[in-house]
Structure 1
Amino acid sequence: MKILVTGGAGFIGSAVVRHAIAKGHSIVNLDSLTYAACIDNVASISGSPNYAFEQVDIRDRPALDAVFSTHAPDVVMHLAAESHVDRSIDGPGAFIETNITGTYNMLEAARAFWAANARPDSFRFHHISTDEVYGSLGETGQFTESTPYAPNSPYSASKAASDHLVRAWYETYNLPIVMTNCSNNYGPFHFPEKLVPVIILNALAGKPLPIYGNGANVRDWLYVEDHADALLTVLENGALGRTYNIGGENEATNLDIVKMICAILDKKHPGTAPYAEQITFVADRPGHDLRYAIDPSRIRDELGWRPSVTLQQGLEKTVDWYLANEPWWRALQSRDGVGKRLGKTV
């Protein structure tokens, strides 16, 4: 297939691009290269004859139309989004413009292209979203595809709105869509503003390892390369109009994650003292969801997909990658917001 991937220079998007090229697909990578994107994320496949790059903003509808006309993709994988909860607290406007208006533009550009090409049955618009649209769980229970939406941050609210737009374009215009909602991703090429890369890099720098509140917030952790494989599985085999929740089957508290990373670093890159001594608890962010957990029964039972790595294995792979790729993350240290506490606005 020729796949148009939006946000393909970002963390998850670049994993999708690399995985899809490895599986023999052709890729058109559409990315505006905002602060969290890095073209080096796809350097390993940039010379492939099956790869093309378009620096385009999804808020620019005429530019999107031009990309569809030029490349005539078979399917779309829409990952481009503002995604950092802390940044959404400080500046929600960018999340509204990109995640809602940008998704609207993508849907309309895709619909126009699909209609102009006799509405092929094989066309798909795959919208990639997050489990955060479902809100927060208590100590028990899991999110299913029928869990009511209850977003608690500007980020999750903007993603919930984009999900609703995609479903509406399916119901109203018959645009062929599939949707996925994933749990917390981690792994190589993760921009250093999220928990896992922040902890790894702060530990190596001898800086405090900041944990919100008491560290009891629980997430289901999904290795990014497993996620990329799941997304291609849904694109290729998912039922039209269907939503699939993708989880790593790895629940852990934030404090557990930090302690696991510290123990891995103690073994692989020992310092003068145990890294856990750098752990610092900081004031919680507003609207911080207590717990997310995914019920992955649908994607497992219908499509036969399960994650391939355990949390311990995935974190060790991730630490190994950051230790081996210092030039990549060093180049990002001066970007806006890296290494700073965001999301304190109340």
Structure 2
Amino acid sequence: MAQFDLPLEALREYRSDSPEPDGFDAHWARTIAAARAHDVILERRPVETGLSAVDTWDVRFAGFDGHPIAAWWTVPRHRRAHRGVVVEYLGYGRGRGLPHERLLWSAAGYAHLLMDSRGQGGQHGNGGDTVDPVGTPPSATGFVTRGIADPAEHYYRRLVADAVRAVDAARALNGEADAPVVVSGNSQGGALALAAGGLVPDVSAVLAGVPFLCHPRRALMITEASPWSEVVNYLSVHRDAVDVALGTLDFVDGVNFARRGRAPLHASVGLRDTVCPPSTVFAAFNAWGEHAEAAVDREIEVYPFNHHEGGDAVHTRRQLDWLAGVLGGL
């Protein structure tokens, strides 16, 4: 698809006009406090991977409402002290898969926690291991509309709480209180990285590639690509639920999390991406750190001829270089 959104010059200045919901901070404070009422590490078991350079553990940590969330904890066998921890979140429909699939961060010398996405893992990759025990009223196929009639019941309230608790779990597993913690992900994972970066004020850096769930009100006006098509399908049936659904999505809008960011941010955007339209990504990027007391470093990689894959492996190398520079200055 050709570039379909605003020109790049306009994107760099674009701001969301969506309302921030009343009670946003209180909603998330209650959610995270309730999740943190549970001991974070539920189970930790070493696994044999056939790899000689890393050690891996199969972990269960307490996420939303204490629900057990699966994760892989992988540590370089010859790791430098205080190298840092990368907490990684997954894209839409993907589960944590097998422990040898994602070795980038441990190969770069970081301890790595890969969080499973509750209820997902049946659309891509090699599956997931975390159930979502919460039932919801009628919804469209997928996850975005599950519980969309109430912010307290919305699927992404649970998943964002899991993402915050993954940071707590990584710190507990790492055992070094002052080690840097980085949150990272692409697409849905990028959305969770923005959320964790906004809700956990002392993370050291945020890597958010082509983030989903930013500026939903605009996304629904300019694209019907999946997963936004789920909301379109739902509202085509529940015609009187538009205001309620949009109000719920405001509570998980990446723009609202971005305003609360404190850590340096490295983001990316594909200018032909219909899944995460450029203006929605820039809306979050341009809002990053608005509520901070001082200026917050941020950088975005723009890929004019790419779709939702963004910069792919080229972008990964840029992330590695950027992160080394940021953590090297701590």
TM-score (norm 2): 0.35
> TM-score, normalised to structure 1's length?
0.33
Structure whose alpha-carbon radius of gyration is higher: 1
